[in-house]
Amino acid sequence: MKIPRKKFQATVPSVAMGDIAFNLLIFFVILARAQDDSHIKWEPASTPKVEQVKSIGVSVVVDIDSKLYLNGQEIGESQLSAAIEKLLGNAPAGKRSVLLKVHRNTTALRFEPVIEAVSQAGGDLVHILEEKSLQPKK
């Protein structure tokens, strides 16, 4: 008489799947955040009239401590023009927008060379500003 062997059911434990997926996603979120500029501290200047602008590839930020960033990465003033030119490549006119986010109290000594660098790279300058509120900021 043959005694049939007991069959074991092999299943993949799915309890840890949630944690694995969560950790993977956190990893990719942090990786993505390092490439944008949402972690940089700056306050926009205000103006009475603003228009909505599409955020395209290149953004330049001068933060509260007058540090310069290109697409979220700190960069030197002397390298800025070449780096923007490289990012813009052969993009046609109208698609060469460079978003310029300058902290409202930054002085001309810091922001004018940045504007010059964008202009030198052939970028279309877009100042990111906020609409003027009734109570002026001090």
- Shortest gap between Cβ of 113 and other proteins (angstroms)? 7
Nearer to other proteins, 74 or 130 (CB): 130
Contact of 43 with 128, CB cutoff 8 Å:
no
Q: How many CB atoms are closer than 10 A to CB 27?
A: 10
C-alpha closest to that of 98 among 77, 84, 110, 112: 84
Nearer to other proteins, 4 or 131 (CB): 131
Kindly state the tokens that stand for 104: 């409202």
- Shortest gap between Cβ of 6 and other proteins (angstroms)? 23
Contact of 60 with 99, CB cutoff 8 Å:
yes
Which residues form the interface with other proteins (CB under 8 A)?
Answer: 14-15, 17-18, 20-22, 25-26, 29, 32, 36, 38, 45-55, 97, 99, 102-109, 111-113, 115-116, 119-120, 122, 124-131
Nearer to other proteins, 3 or 53 (CB): 53
Kindly state the tokens that stand for 53: 């602008």
- Shortest gap between Cβ of 63 and other proteins (angstroms)? 12
DSSP class of residue 94? T
Nearer to other proteins, 21 or 74 (CB): 21
Contact of 103 with 62, CB cutoff 8 Å:
yes
- Shortest gap between Cβ of 8 and other proteins (angstroms)? 20
